[in-house]
Each structure stands twice: as structure tokens, then as C-alpha cells.
Structure 1
């Protein structure tokens, strides 16, 4: 594959990955706002209590095999079918365990309703297992357009169902029904669009080969999943359902721009970087470029959300959610660094060093749990500041391991992102001064957003940031292409 064709595929992959990701997350984001206005923070916290159990179950279903299929060169139909049947078997076992554990989960939180809710929403574990291989095949082909179609149709149809149930007062069940409908429709469409069905074959040799790589990702994923959702578990048990509702909303909003945009980029570039895994020079160049581009987009978004947190919450969720504002501001500082961590993680998988990936996760999560334990007694705000501290520890550890497989260093990465960080801080200062002049939430969002965008773009153009030119040329190219098709 030539450099130009690789670049073209990368651009198309990012574009369709963006459409697929934001079609799902965007509508779900809107739905969460609608439902949050219809229910109380404590009712919303009830659903958040299940997040750790569902996330752990879903991690077992994937078992790292999806990334193993993508990473493996010369994969066969036997590999695909082996992964498919293994995932189905594991999903049934895991759901059975979750079904049996439902009463104990309800007792743990002292919420009887969770028994029934857990057993219904847990069906998503089995449903999603049927589409893991189809999705991996489409990613290998860089066919995010097909995934976008399936996801968009699924989220629109299920979204309509969810809104209807929420409107008629079904509360938490609106979320449960919407989630099951979305997974079912998406899985059904992927079977149709991907045009792949499993063969009647299973190979233990294939399983062992894929498991050698995927098992380490499974353990790493479990550690990360448990840690990320541990906060919901601890807050739900230590504090109140209302406190968990505030934290959950703040965490969801803080993660939305950072994690979604980073996931779009890493998911699109992972199969491309896998093709370059033996070309160190090109791999090193793309690695730094991806870090700069992701930072150039995410840093200002997170800074803007931090500054505009209060008018955002007032306008979209109402004053009953104001307690989540300081939590959202702190968490924006924590998640602004997510792209640096994710892209360094990604490079370890590209190089086939899932052993380094696992070692890094073990070290990071040992530090993370220590920080969590130390901050619990001091309340929610200090607990969130602990996440900020952890983000710096995470970057330090993962860059240490990334240096072993690629020509990078702490200094090199800091030098590349520091000008972008400084530009974002200047932009945020301008936004803060602007919104201090008005009191109405809508005007604060409007004026703050406009000033932030203009200030960021003007300084980027004046200082000749390469990333601005790349994004501008891409947008201009797409605009010209669309004009020609009219």
C-alpha cells in the first residue's frame, strides 16, 4: 500500500468512524439529557450502580479476541469462526452468572428493583456477542461506513422507543428497553451488512494462537474496566444514590468529547498502524502526528467544557443538577489527557506487545486504587481530584513502556503537546472573562463558545500550527468534493 493510498484510507476511516461513533453517542447523549430532566439524580444513580457489573461482563465477552483478529496477519475463516463460537459460549456463561448474582447486587446497594433490572439489561451481553466478529471484519477492511449505517439506524429506532417510554413515565425502564433494542437492531444489521456467517469449524490451535495475544488484553481490559467503574461502586455504596447521580452525569459529560474523539481516531488508525508495524520510521512519524492532532482537537474542547460547565448544566439539565458542576470541572482536567494515554496504549498493541500493555495496566491500577482509597474519606470533590492525579501517573507509566517499542520519550511528547496546551489555556481564559460579563446561561454558552473558537483559530493561524492547516485542508477538500457531486 502506497503512502498516498494509506493516507486516503486513514482520512476516510476517521470520517466514517466519526459518523458511526457520534451518531450513536450523540443521540444517546441527547437521550440522557431528556431523561435526566424527567427523573431525579437518585433515580439516575440507580442505573449507574450496575455499570461495573455490566462492564466487567462485556469485557469477558470480547476477551481481547477482537483486537487479536485485527492485529493478526494472515487470519483465516477458521480464526473468525473460532472466535465467534467461543464468544457466544462465554456470553451465555457470563449472563448466567450475572442472572444468579442479581439478588446479591440488589442487596449490596439495598435497592430491590435492581434484581429485575439487572436480569433484563444483562441480555445485552448475549446479544452483543453475536456481532463481535462481524465488527472486527469491518474494522480490518477499514469499512466504517457500513458500521455507521448500522449504528445510525439502530440508535434512531431504539432512541424513538426510549423517548416514548420515558415520556409515558417508565423511568429507568426506558433506559433498559432502549439499550436492548439498540443492541438487537445493530447486531441484526451487522449480520446483513457484513455478509459474514460463521463456518461449522472450531480450531483449538487457532484459539491458542489468538488467546496468547488476546488474553493479556483481556486481563488489561478487566483491570481498566474494574477501576473505571469502581468509582460508581464506591460512591453508590459509601455515599448516596443522589451523589452517584451527580458524579455519573459529570463523568459522562467529561468523558464524552475526550474518549469519543480519541476512540474514533484510535479505532480508525489501529488497523493502519498494524500494516506499518515493521516500518519503524513511518510508524514513529504517524505516532507523533496522531498525538498532536488529537490534542489539537480535544484540549480546547475539554477546556471549553470546563469553563462553560455551569451554564451548560443550568441550560440542559436544570438547576437540580448544579451539584454536579464542580465535579464536571475537575473531571475535565482529568480526561483532557486521555488521548495521550490511549495513543501510547495503542502503539503497544500495534507492536504485538500485549505483555507490556498488561504490565503497564497492573502498575497503573495499583497506583490508582491507592489514590482512590486515600481520597474516599474526603468527599466527592477530593475523590475527583484524585482522578486528576491518576491521569498524570497513567501517562508516566504508559510512556515508559511505549519507549521500549518506538522512538519516543517524555520530553519529546511534552514538547509536541505543550504549545497546544498553552493555546487552550489562553482560549479558556478569554472564555472565562467573557462569560463573567453576562448572567443568562444561554448567552454565556453562546458568547463563550464564539469567543473561544475565534480566539483559538486566530492564534493557531497566527502561530502557524500545522494541525490547523491539516484540518482546514481536509474540510476544504470535503467541501469541494461535495460541491462537485451536486
Structure 2
């Protein structure tokens, strides 16, 4: 039954995010303290290009397979061989052109680093179809356990390498080892093997759908990574390391909350793709839950940015404080847009998503260049903050129109949460008026903010507990041979 699968998928994805972040806190922060911004900047210079290339390896076929309700083994086999050929071709390009990349950044170390980092493109092309089929079936349990094993072992190796002065190679091998372990186990649990068969006719329909997905993903990737390219080229790897680490902190609450729902809701919404009212109902409940968690985390990070950087990351990361503050506010705004892609893709509107993303880039990219010119790293991030928060309103409007919703419908779900976050900021300003040590300041901000936020939420939205329960534990519905209930 779909409802049971959705519930199980949500449960395992929530558990996954908790476990993964415990591993990240233990190993990731230690690596950041030990390696410093320069190592992260070097890897960031490569991933700007390799991440973009990875979009071509998948070419939107992953989403197309999930969307397609008439899938055959001939289709999946054809996609598998196509992805593998593209992955090999793109890796050979990176291997050959790595000296040009090193010359572009004026970093000779990038030649060998690029040739190793981009091996992940080839590995991902092998793992793509098994991973996608597990997601399509909303079968996350074994997939997630495999990811835990791969994450723990890969970070363990990176920890040992960093401790023994391997420097940036610690980060490189962490990524490669994770991909290899994940590949081996996913193939074992997916219970799928490709046929020695390829036909373009089998995947032409998937290509039509996937081209819209890959177009949107390309523009989205450009939005998320052109900033890295500009910073790495014109300011340097230390500034890029500060920015990428700050950006990853901004993305933690978003990816760890929204990805839980996105992974599960896309296949579920695809099944009920013609029932817009039902999609709208569940969308409003889920977006409220996402904001309930991500808004206070992002605003809380804004208020404790100084304490967090100096106590956790260390003095060498002090320049990240204003960057983290600006990106945390941007992250809160962006979390509201987190399910836009699910709406577009599940309802067959990938083309519209492409156009909306294109319009955003037309404004955002020039603002980055202007901000970089006027204020270097701080200027670029400020431009990102202004365009990203203001632009969130029309972008959200375009997405929810598809499921017959208006902005006022979303505001009714979020206004109490918004007010609660304002009070978190006020608590932070109040604590800052006292001359406290970093440790005491951090403690008081956390202790005071939680009850203040909760009180405001419950005062202005007395039904929030019931709504929360509906998201976590949907009401059981009678079986029906005519309709699939979420």
C-alpha cells in the first residue's frame, strides 16, 4: 500500500539524516579544523566542473524512470548502457584536460587531483539505475543502511589520512571510497541486472521528459556553482574554502529536512499526478513541517554564528562569520522553495521549471558579478542574499499555481513560524548586550530561544501539533481498488 511505503520511507530518511549528521559532526568538523580553508577550496575548484558534468551522466533519466509508470527492463537497460558510455566519455575528457583546469586556476596541484576526483563520474554512472529503482519503489531501508556504512568507513579513512598529513587528499579519497562502497552494496540489494540490450526507441520517451529535468538541473547547478567558480578564479582557494564550508552549513538543515520529504514525495506524487487537490493538501502540511524545523535552525545559526565559528571551527575560520550570517537568512528563504522541483516533476511540468530557473539566473548571475566587483566575497554573498530572498516569492508563486494554490495559502501555514523566528533574533540581540564569554553566550542563546520560539508558535497556531502529527503519522485509510491513498 502506498501509504505504508511513504510512511516507512519518511521514517528511514529521518533516521538516515540523524545518523549521517552525527557522523558529519564527529568527522567533518574535525577535518575542517585540521585541514583549513585551502584544502576545501582546492576540491571546490574541481567539483564546480565535475558536478556539472555529472548532470550529463544522468541526463534526467533518473527522474524520468521514477515518473514513468510503464517501465520495462529494456528501458532501464538501455538507460544504463547510455549512462555508462557518457560517464566514461566525460571522465576521459577530464583526464585529458586536467592541465587546462590547473592553468585556469593557476594551481598545478589540480592536475592529479582532478584525475582522481572525477573517477566518481564513472562510479556514479554504474550506480545510477539501481539507486533510482530503489527510490521508485520507495524502498529506502537497505539503501540507507548501505549509505551509513559507506559514510562511516569513508570518513574513517579520511580522518586517518588527515591525521597523517595527507592534506587535501583526505577529502578526495573520502568521496571516492564512499562512492565505491555504495556502488558495491547497492548492486547487491537492488536485485536488478541490465540486459545486454540497447535501443534508442526504448528511451526516447524518457529522453523527452528527462531533457526538461536536465535543463533545469543545469541552470540550477549554474546558480549554485558559478559563485564558486568566480570566487576561486578571482579571490583564491582560501576564500573559496570559507565560502563552500559556510554554504554547506547553510544547506545542512535544508538538505537534512527537505531531502527526506523530496525523496519520498516525488515517487508518491508521481503515482497520484492527476489529483492536484490531494497533492496540494499534502504539500501544505509538509511545507509547514519543513519551515517549522528549518526556519529556527537557520535563524538560530544567524544568532550564534560568531560563537559557533570560534568555538567549533577555530580562529582560522573567523572570516566565515559574516558569510554564515548572510547565508543562514538566505537558507531560511530557500527552504520554502524546497518542494518546487517535486511539484514540477511529479506533474510533468519540467519545461516550466526550466523557464523559471532561467529567469532567476538572468538576474542572479549579474548580481554576483557586481557584488564581487564591489565587495569581493562579502559583496557576492550580500547580492546572493538580496536576490535569493526577494526572488523566492515569484518563484514559489509559479510552482504552487500548478496545484491550484496561492501565496496566501502558504502564508497561512507559515506566519506563526515566521513570528517565532523574529523573537529568536531578538533573544540573540538581548544576549549580545551582556559581556559574556563565548561559551556562556552560546548556552544562553540556545536555552532562551527554544522556549520563546515554541511559545510564539503555540500562541499563534494552536493546531500545529495536530498538523505535525498528520505529517509524521498519516491517518489510516480504508483500502480501495479504485484509488491509491496517501
Q: Same fold (TM over 0.5)?
A: yes
Tell me: CA distance 1:473–1:69, structure 2 relative to 1, closer, same or farther (3 Å). Answer: closer
Q: 1:93 to 1:340 in 2, by over 3 A?
A: same
Q: Which runs of 5+ in 2 are unaligned?
A: 475-486
Deviating 4+ runs (over 6 angstroms) = 472-477
- The answer to whether structure 1 residue 402 and structure 2 residue 362 are counterparts is no
Counterpart position of 1:189: 185
Residue 58 of structure 1: CA displacement? Answer: 1.4
Q: CA separation of 1:187/1:394 partners in 2, compared to 1, >3 Å: closer, same or farther?
A: farther
In structure 2, what is the equivalent of residue 384 of structure 1? Answer: 381
Alpha-carbon distance in 2 for matches of 1:385, 1:144: 38
CA contact (8 A) 2:35 2:162 kept: no
1:424 aligned to which of 421, 424, 429: 421
Contact 1:41 1:245 in 2 (8 A): yes
> Which residue of 6, 12, 29 maps to 2:8?
12
The C-alpha deviation readout for 1:215-257, integer Å capped at 9, x for no partner, is 1111111111122111111111111222222212211111111
Distance 2:214 2:365 in 1: 19
Q: Partners of 1:215 and 1:16 in 2: how far apart?
A: 31
CA distance in 1, matches of 2:394, 2:198: 38
1:441-461 Cα distance to aligned partner (Å, 9 max, x none): 333333322222222223323
Cα deviation, 1:166-216, whole Å, max 9, x if unaligned, reads: 100001001111111110001111111112111222231221110000011
Counterpart-to-counterpart distance in 2, 1:85 and 1:476: 40
TM-score (norm 2): 0.92
Query: Partners in 2 of 1:474 and 1:392 — Cα distance?
Result: 26
Question: Is the Cα–Cα contact under 8 Å of residues 102 and 119 in structure 1 kept in the other structure?
Answer: yes
TM-score by length of 1: 0.92
SS in 1 for 2:195: coil
**Which residue does 1:234 correspond to in 2?**
230
CA RMSD of superposed structures (Å)? 2.1
Task: Go from structure 1 to structure 2 and tell me whether the alpha carbon gap of 1:218 and 1:475 turns closer, same or farther (over 3 Å shift).
Answer: closer
- 8 Å CA contact 1:375, 1:383 repeated in 2: yes
Q: 1:203 corresponds to which residue?
A: 199
Alignment of 1:263-282 (within 5 A): 263-282=259-278
Relative distance call for 1:453 and 1:438 in structure 2 (3 A) is: farther
- 2:283 is aligned with 1:283: no
1:26 Cα deviation (Å)? 4.7
The answer to whether the aligner puts 1:141 opposite 2:162 as a matched pair is: no
The verdict on how the C-alpha distance between 1:277 and 1:475 changes in structure 2, with shifts beyond 3 A counting, is closer
- Please tell me whether the aligned partners of residues 21 and 148 of structure 1 are also in contact (alpha carbons under 8 angstroms): no
Counterpart CA distance in 1 for 2:16 and 2:356 is 30
Say if 1:219 and 1:75 are closer, same or farther in 2 by CA, change over 3 A: same
Tell me if 1:96 matches 2:79. no
Residues 23, 151 of structure 1: 8 Å contact kept: no
Between 1:186-195 and 1:201-210, the stretch displaced more is 201-210
Separation (CA, whole Å) in 2 of partners of 1:104 and 1:211: 32
Listed one character per residue, the Cα deviations across residues 255-286 of structure 1 (whole Å, up to 9, x for unaligned) are 11123321221111111111221112211111
Which residue does 1:332 correspond to in 2? 328
Residue 84 of structure 1 corresponds to 80
Q: Partners of 2:265 and 2:61 in 1: how far apart?
A: 18
Alignment partner of 1:463 out of 452, 456, 460: 460
Instruction: Find the counterpart in structure 1 of residue 212 from structure 2.
Output: 216
CA distance 1:393–1:64, change in 2 (3 Å): farther
Gap runs ≥5 in structure 1: 478-486
Aligned match of 2:340: 344
| Matching residue within 111, 121, 128 for 1:125 | 121
Residue 39 of structure 1 and its aligned partner are, at CA, apart by 2.3
Q: Residue 479 of structure 2 corresponds to which residue in structure 1?
A: none
Which residue is 2:293 aligned to? 297
Kindly indicate whether the alpha-carbon contact (under 8 Å) linking 1:259 and 1:338 is maintained by their aligned counterparts in 2: no
